[in-house]
Chains A and B, each alone.
Chain A
Amino acid sequence: MKNDVIIKVENATKLYGINKPEAIKLAKEGADKETIQKKTGVTIALWDVSFEVQRGEIFVIIGLSGSGKSTLVRCFNKLNKLTSGKIFYEDRDVEKLNKKELLDFRREKISMVFQNFGLMSHRTVIDNVAYGLEVKSVPKEERYDRAREMISMVGLEGWEDQPIESLSGGMKQRVGLARALANDPEVLLMDEPFSALDPLVKRDMQFELLSIQEKLQKTVIFITHDINEAFKLGTTVAIMKDGKLIQLDTPQNMFMHPADEYVSKFIDSADRGKVFTAKHVMVTPRCIVRPKDAPEQAIREMRSYDVSTAYAVDARMSFLGVITIDDALLARKENLPLDSFIKKEVCTTPPETLLSDILQTAADSKYPIAVVDEKNRLQGIISRSAVLSSL
């Protein structure tokens, strides 16, 4: 996935108003958005924004209203035209597409999901989903087949012939998503798609999006003003303010190194448990024993590290369980092999698990949680205090 750039934005600038040269001059002198608006009547929607989007990632753009994020997303499919700067899709300059090329670009490569759904209320569910295919003259049978497939993927089977108004908000956005996917685009633009939904439905839809993304591997450019949503979905997150790009980073890096005061204030409200995973807080277990080891050796190991539990792994580093110092002493006394004393009731978790999901387990369990990979190999351990202190 590294360095397979699908979209490249270079110095994108968008101004609304008449006296643009004056506004550009002021902006270059470092005047802020409000001053420029007052002096020249020009609104700066985007100022000198540059970044790259990798193929297959969920690229989240976050900012408050008026930060230029919705303006920016509409430049990718040329619903908005840039005042200056360039946007490349693969090697093609989106701004330079002619009428015919633009239609084809919108029909084949890029599609969009809207905040208030943007559904056509005079059409049924299936005719909404098939709209993109209809405008490029796909025969009726074929487009309905494709639309049905999409409708069932978003879990709306049986609703094909219903009018839009009979759907709930969450269902409407599923239709919006199905419509956007029906064209099999490379890039999915999502302009605050879940902002109009209530929290429970929102969570379902986020899950739906992640599972669809996993299946189809589309590039998603996702706009939101909800920091938790951004960190939950985003592989890369871009924070915007007053038309400028403030920071572009992975959620974890953003937490650890916020670019400025604004970013740290923004992420203050975020739930760290939903950003950091087991991998980020686990530590290497200090004392590892093998079941075939003599009890005497295990006791010596534990004493030398000054710990009361050791982690038992086999020759392939597969995790077996824990052995306490008391059990090891008992084994020595009764002259039994160590493996009959291994405690198996230790919780394990994959490294990608979110901290918020292991919080409860960590609080309840007697021993630290073992982090294991998909082959059950021990990666590290997480103590209760590590989880709690990281949040």
Chain B
Amino acid sequence: MKRLLLIVSLILVTLPAFRSVADTAETHQLTQHEKIEAAEEEQAESKNLDVKEIIFHHLGDGYGWEVPFSHVYRIPLPVIVRAEDGKWFCFSSDKLTEVIVTENEETGKKEEHLVPVIHSVVRDGKEYLFYIPHLSENKNKVVELFPLTDAQQAEVNAMLIAEAKSKGTDLHHTVLAGYTKAGDHYYREYRPLDISITKNVLALFIAAVLVTVMVMCVVRFYTRKGMKAPRKGMGFFEMLIDFIYTGVIKANLGKNAPKYAPYLLTCFFFILTMNLLGLIVIFPGGANLTGNIAITLVLAVLTFIITNVKGTKHYWKEIFWPDVPMFLKFPLPIMQMIEIFGMFTKPAALCVRLFANMMGGHMIVITLTLLIFIFAAFGAAASGGATAISIFFSCFMLLLDVLVSFIQAYVFTLLSTMFIAMSQESGHHDEVEA
């Protein structure tokens, strides 16, 4: 219940952003006809299953958060972008999409489609256009559009035909750098500096709040009940803390443990929460956070900074003047080059390991689920069999991912601890090689 309130309040906080822009001009909006055309195009494309597209859609980020059982309706999130002329814009992501209802000609059923629309903002007498292109270098990202004159349109068209010819692609699927097509017209596009609260960012905040709440619960327990041991959930949480603190941090860092424990514990629980949230399919979860290289990169960079900023004299000596035969380090600094290279490969490995493991897990589950739709083309028996098998394996993989979530959080913390411990060595000859 508490968590729900928290999420609602979080959304309420971001709400004012949605109303910030009131005056919109109609000049560059797409016409209804263009929208329906886009919807029909999407419908035609959705008939042939684009597996790669679906997988990357699920693994990637988004400006809205899909609600269960619908591809069309999304929880709107604030888009924050800096336009080409340096002005900041903040609007709701639902301004960039619209739901178009079409009638299926074969079955007569009404079908809903989510199509991208141009969001136009007038500020200080100037019109700013924002759009999420499908056919562009910046696919599925917010871009700022600049209208072209008719002459420029023709020029772009010519360039497009040349590009399509040289690459041998279909004209409708050719991407021209720096330009995008919205409706029937071409626009010059600019990818603005984008710090939108996307699905991943919101998931990140939720994870951070969850970790804070969990830790503060334990802290409150201690301040209230003193020396009593927590039970049940809190006991489990404390056991995890103790497992990491005693088993990993204290075992590797010794007397330095209290100094680095806050960072490492925060890392562990943040990663673990993000991993596990990623496995939940619906709203508060479902974002592939730790399977996104941006997240793991920040964590790895922080470990790198701590390792090197807090490195002792001995650590730097090991890098620039290691205990090896002279010919390995003097005229040609072979060892130094290897050591310096190693300085960077260690956090890079941290970053890629977590990212690849989590992304791989998600990808396998999605692929297994997609098998159902791939086999649907081969008739009822094949699709029935594939469904049973894929559900079984998906469940198995998800359970395995729960384990992997824990293991990867643990491994990240363990390796960070070891790297920090190596940089903390003050001397003599206890060499630890990673």
**Chains A and B bind each other:** no
Which A positions have Cβ atoms within 8 angstroms of B? none
Which B positions have Cβ atoms within 8 angstroms of A? none
